[in-house]
Structure 1
Amino acid sequence: MRASFICVNKMGCRLLWIIVAFTLISMGESKKSTGESCHPDDLMGLISFKAGIRIDTSGRLERWVGRSCCKWEGISCDNTTGRVTQLLLPGFISTDVSILQTQMKGSLSPKITLLTSLQVIDLSELSFITGNIPTSIGFHLPNLRKLYLLRNKLSGPIPESIGKLSKLEEIILSENRFSGSLPLSLGNLKNLNRLLLDSNQFSGAIPDSLVNLTILVVLDLHHNYLNGHMPAKIGELQVLEQLDLSENLLSGKIPVSLTNITTVQDIDLSNNSLEGEIPFPSCSGQMPFLRFLALHHNHLTGRIPPALGYLVSLQRLYLENNKLNGPIPSSLGNLSDLRELYLSGNRLSGLIPIAFSRLSQLINLNLSNNLIRGLPHEMSSLQNLQTLTLSFNPLNFSSIPKWMAELPSISQIYMAGCGLQGEIPEFLQRKPIQELDLSANHLTGSIPSWLGGLSQLYLLNLSKNALVSEIPDSITRLHELGVLDLHSNKLTGSIIEVFKMGSILPGGSLRYIDLSHNSFSSGIEQIGAGEQHGIEFLNLSHNFLKGRLPTSIGRLELMRSLDLSHNELGFNLPESLGNVKSLERLKLEKNRFTGKIPDGYLMLRKLKELDLSDNLLVGQIPNGKPLDDFPRSSYSGNRALCGRPLAPCKP
């Protein structure tokens, strides 16, 4: 440090040198003390924050001892001033070997605003932090740049004073319980890059002041309860790249001015109550960088505008579950980068345009639940198509179109309720099928044995057809099968092959089995005998199954729903069924079960639905929950049963 001064006399010079020396020594001591002690306001703010937290599973706050707060875990300080600049206590902590999820339970102390030099607050994903954002936050934290509070239980409004934080770049308040209207002062945040307010309970209209955020990069308000109209001026956000207002109660029409956001890449307005027609784009050249457009789950009407074909960069288009009608415009075939197209749940009609054959990058196409009458064979040129969903359209194919055999990448086919007839075509055995849904058609013949060669098959749904014969032995080779639905056919014989499948791999892969409404007569003794421990849903009702329910059924510990009703099963109810403590639904009515209801069934604490009616059960119903919570109808038709909720047992 250099000092320039003029001495009036020698005594004056000596005195001035003493003052300068003392100042330099003091500055040195100040720098030396930085990190060794804490500014009183910072210390009070941090101690108050710690006092508000009752539980910290990470143990970080336990190590906040002494006065050297700049050495505390999660705290960063300015090397010059010694003031705290960052409070970094996220729920996810990276270690050398893994990422740990930690939690904090308690309330956010309003005295956090004593940390007046804070630039970053990260209390994200701690799960159980409650309280409010301090109303005075805008007056005391002028240097705050990033505010991360996502995935907690914070509530209350965003304070109006937040608009005074002129340096704010990112606000992430996702998945909390914030409420109230969005403050007008948000428009004052000229440096805001990201605004994520999703999964809260915000209400009211989106404030017009947001048009002032001319360098806003992300606007995310989804999962809220906003209502009212979106301001037309939102289109003035000229540097906006992502607009996400999904999962709200927004109403009214989509502002036409959205087309003026020339830099926008993602727009998500889904899951609202928006109405009217799709207003953009109006001409070529608008929204040249738009890659993602999601307008699904609204009340949009009218036709799909042909002008959507001008969105040359579009990769994903979601328009499902609206009230759109009329034909699909052929101009969509101009979207050469399109990967995903979802148009299901509308009133679209006519034929699929031949121009769709030009969508060479298309991976997923969902046209289900419309009024579409046909598809051109030119669609066989879609070499990258993996998922084709055509369910519940009046296609009335005589059989599955042969041109599907030319789709090399097809792995998921959903053609439920399309009027298919005849047998399941053999060409499917040459495809890497993972999910096949041909339910609710008019298919005949037997289940082909070649299905056992589909080594990647996870879902097989052939329900509601007219299939006959037995389940082929080859089905035991489907090691990856997780969902098997064959209900409402004319199948006969044994179900034993289904339960042999789990014996191949430990734990098995089957999760869902529905063989109900057929004519199966045997194989019940195999339930639980193999390694099908992962079964969660099992429905064998409305068959002709006979015999004893095996004790091995108690090994299905993950099962939540068991329906064996309307069969010819007999003998005593197995005590082991009480081991299936995850069971929520148990239907055994209209069989020939005898003996008493086992006391062990009192262990079925999660049971919400029970029907043991119309059997040959006797004795007292075990006294206690959950069995005595069910109505009389759950036990009716058993002449020798007694006890609550039926008549008392006779002495």
Structure 2
Amino acid sequence: MGCQMLCLFLTFTLMATTCIVQGCHPADLKGLAGFRGGIHMDTSGRLAKWAGLSCCTWQGVVCNNRTGRVTEVHLPGFLATADFVFQSQMEGWLSPSITLLTSLEVLDLGGLVGLSGRIPKSIGHLKNLKKLFLYGNKLRGPVPDSIGKLSKLEELHLHENRLSGYLPPGVGCLKNLNALLLHSNRFTGRIPASFSNLTNLIYLDLHSNSLTGNIPENIGELQVLKEFDLSENFLTGKIPVSVNNLTSISVMYLDSNQLEGEIPFPSNYGEMPMLGFLRLQNNRLSGKIPPNFGYLVSLQRVSLENNKLEGAIPSSFDNLQALSELYLGGNELSGVIPKSIGQLSRLILLSISRNLIQGPLPDEMSALQNLQTLDLSFNSLNLSSIPRWVAELPSLSRIFLAGCGIEGRIPDLLRSTASPIQELDLSANYLTGGIPVWMESLTLQFFESFKEPSHFTSGIEQIGVVTLKRLEYLNLSHNLQEGQLPTSVAKLKALKCLDLSYNKLGFGLVEALANLSNLETLKLQRNHFTGKIPVEYLKLKNLKDLDLSDNLLVGEIPAGKPLSDFPQSCFTGNRGLCGKPLSPCKS
């Protein structure tokens, strides 16, 4: 009899377990039904398939095989198929009933652009929650204090919503939080000092909010923090010295705030050894670039632009052998460019524009064989002429030397650059002599040679043609150019921007410019151009920026787009010009 009772008990137990797994816990069923009830449109069709009592079989729902409780809800807005990715929409509100799923570990509602409402105050009931994805929605209101009760939370994604309020102090109790992503929510208030309690935090992203106040002084206690983004806020005060203790940090973005004071790191060798990406631009930082900056041996990209930094560029930069991009523009740096810059063999971009750097340029820069972009504009270089090695760098395609004191004619060395030039800015110099004749002869030579395949020689003319043929950006504004604009400019088919403003160029506008189908910007203001605006300019369908003001142009402005789309200011200062958008022409 005892054996029969035991068998009967085991049978009941097995049946109950099966029922739990195949059915749905009443609290979970009620929670999911309440969530579905708050949504009045679902373009993905997933919620329409939520039928019956077996919620563990519903699309986007995952249960624990042992307990039968719902552990994951995956209803992201972005859906991927074998062929493409598309974004679905759910319109409605986030029902608080979702917090009845007390065994939930993952809640993914990210990218549902129509989901509104607030984060439920009862969110703290989800004691087992590890990952919460509520980004890209229309949620609003403050982040509830009860989130601080989610002690197992590893990832919190709340970016790109319309949340308001401040981060509650309870967030500091999230001992096991591994990822906190709260960017683009327009949170306000201060960053709680309790963030220092998040000792397992790996990813902290608060960018594009309205946070104010200081960065917490004890932020350095986040020993395992790898990525740290506070950019695009309204933070003030100094960068805490404790950041030197972030031994695992690889990405640190503090740009576009109102931070001030000196850069406090690194203080000793071995600190922040993994830091590869650093952005401090668009702040109010002052003082010198630390001489120990070379200790950050893993740096790949660093931007210190648009601050108030002064003094010399440290020679210790030669230790940054992994550096590929260096932005130092918009400061008050002085002295000369250190010779050690030439040892940065991986450097592809160097920008030191708008500083107080003096010449001469070190010949060691000729060793930058991978350099693609060089911007030295608006310094006290007094170059007189462009160094020969600029044309010989094999990868250099973007050259910005505006306001560097270059004199005379456009240098012939640009005929034969080793790499095709895509952008060239020689504005605000003392260039004379107009657009050189060799530009036209090279263009003609190119087309003549191209008629015979496999006979393209390596002479100077042909190399120069290739470089000019790929030119996309040409800025010779604010110089002393005079004479006629050669028709050969119209053969630079890749040209997107042509700026010859503030010169003394004259004669008629070149009709052939209308053949530049890629042209987006044409600035010819403050010259001596005469005659009519060619009707052919109506073919410049990609033109977005035009300025022909303050010349000697006459006649009626050709009617039609794109010319009719531009305001009066683009044509004013031409006394003989009339027609829309200016005054009508007199009959």
Match of 2:508 among 494, 503, 506: 494
Deviations 1:547-591 (A, max 9, x none): 33334x33679x565722233566765xxxxxxxxxxxxx526xx
Q: Counterpart of 1:567?
A: 574
Match of 1:314 in 2: 299
- Which of 518, 543, 558 in structure 1 is aligned with 2:527? 518
Determine the C-alpha separation between the residues in 2 that align with 1:272 and 1:387: 27
Give the C-alpha shift of residue 444 in structure 1. Answer: 0.9
Matched, 1:588 2:585: no
Residues 51, 421 of structure 1: CA spacing in aligned structure 2 closer, same or farther, 3 A cutoff?
farther
Unaligned runs of 5+ in 2: 444-464
Structure 1 partner of 2:376 = 390
Question: Within the alignment, does 1:459 sit opposite 2:466 as a pair?
Answer: no
SS of aligned partner of 1:258 = helix
Query: Which amino acid counterpart does residue 130 of structure 1 have in structure 2?
Result: S
Q: Which whole-Å CA distance do the structure 2 matches of 1:564 and 1:556 have between them?
A: 10
**Between Structure 1 and Structure 2, how many residues are aligned?**
557
Q: 1:335 Cα deviation (Å)?
A: 1.4
Deviations 1:50-82 (A, max 9, x none): 333344343433444444433433333333444
1:446 match: 434
Answering whether residue 287 of structure 2 is matched by residue 302 of structure 1, we say: yes
> TM-score of the superposition, structure 2-length normalised?
0.88
Mapped to 1, the partners of 2:314 and 2:562 lie a distance apart of 55
1:485 aligns with 2:484: no
- Quick one: structure 1 residues 570 and 544, their matched pair in 2 at CA, closer, same or farther if it must change by over 3 Å? closer
What amino acid does structure 1 have at the position aligned with 2:503? N
Q: Determine the C-alpha separation between the residues in 1 that align with 2:349 and 2:93.
A: 45
* Pick aligned residue for 2:14 from 7, 21, 24: 24
8 A Cα contact 1:475 1:497, kept in partner: no
Whole-Å Cα distance in 2 between the matches of residues 30 and 38 of structure 1?
A: 6
- Structure 2: which amino acid aligns with 1:450? M
Cα 1:517–1:58 change in 2 (3 A) is farther
- In the TM superposition, what is the alpha-carbon distance from 1:209 to its structure 2 partner? 2.2
Select 2:160's aligned residue among 137, 162, 175. Answer: 175
Question: Is 1:424 aligned to 2:433, yes or no?
Answer: no
Equivalent of residue 293 in structure 1, options 278, 288, 295: 278
Q: CA RMSD in A?
A: 2.5
Larger Rg: 1
Alignment of 1:216-227 (within 5 A): 216-227=201-212
Counterparts of 1:376-387 in structure 2 under 5 Å? Answer: 376-387=362-373
Given the alignment of the two structures, is residue 124 of structure 1 paired with residue 110 of structure 2, yes or no?
Answer: yes
8 Å Cα contact 1:177/1:200 also seen in 2: yes
**CA shift at 1:435, angstroms?**
1.1
Partner of 2:245: 260
Aligned-residue offset at 1:13: 5.3
Q: Which runs of 5+ in 1 are unaligned?
A: 1-9, 503-507, 574-586, 595-615, 618-651
Q: Are the aligned partners of 2:213 and 2:235 in contact in 1 as well (CA < 8 Å)?
A: yes
| Alignment CA distance shift 1:24-1:47 (3 Å) | closer
CA deviation vs aligned residue, 1:11-32 (integer Å, no higher than 9, x gap): x65455444434434444444x
CA deviation after TM superposition for structure 1 residue 245, in Å: 1.6
Structure 1 length-normalised TM: 0.80
Cα distance in 1 for partners of 2:562, 2:153 equals 57
- Give the counterpart letter for 1:443 in structure 2: L
In structure 2, what is the Cα distance between the partners aligned to 1:514 and 1:370? 26
| 1:492, distance to aligned residue in structure 2 (A) | 2.3
Q: CA offsets, 1:194-219, max 9 Å, x none?
A: 11112223333322322222222111
Distance 2:578 2:184 in 1: 52
Higher alpha-carbon deviation: 65-74 or 461-470 = 65-74
Q: Percent identity?
A: 53
Task: Give the secondary-structure state (helix, strand or coil) at the position aligned to 2:138.
Answer: coil
Instruction: Name which of structure 1's ranges 508-517 and 53-62 shifts more when overlaid on structure 2.
Output: 53-62
Residues 120-199 of structure 1 correspond to what in structure 2 (within 5 A)?
A: 120-139=106-125, 141-199=126-184
**Structure possessing the higher relative contact order (Cα contacts under 8 Å, 6 or more residues apart):** 2
Deviations 1:377-418 (A, max 9, x none): 221111111111112212222122223123211111112222
Letter in 1 for 2:423: E
- 1:231, 1:144 → 2: CA distance? 27
CA distance in 2, matches of 1:283, 1:21: 69
Among 397, 421, 433, the alignment partner of 1:411 is 397
- 1:259 shift after superposition: 0.8
Change (3 A) 1:229 1:25: closer
Of 48, 51, 54 in structure 1, the residue corresponding to residue 37 of structure 2 is 51
Q: Cα gap change, 1:72/1:23 in structure 2, threshold over 3 Å: closer, same or farther? A: closer
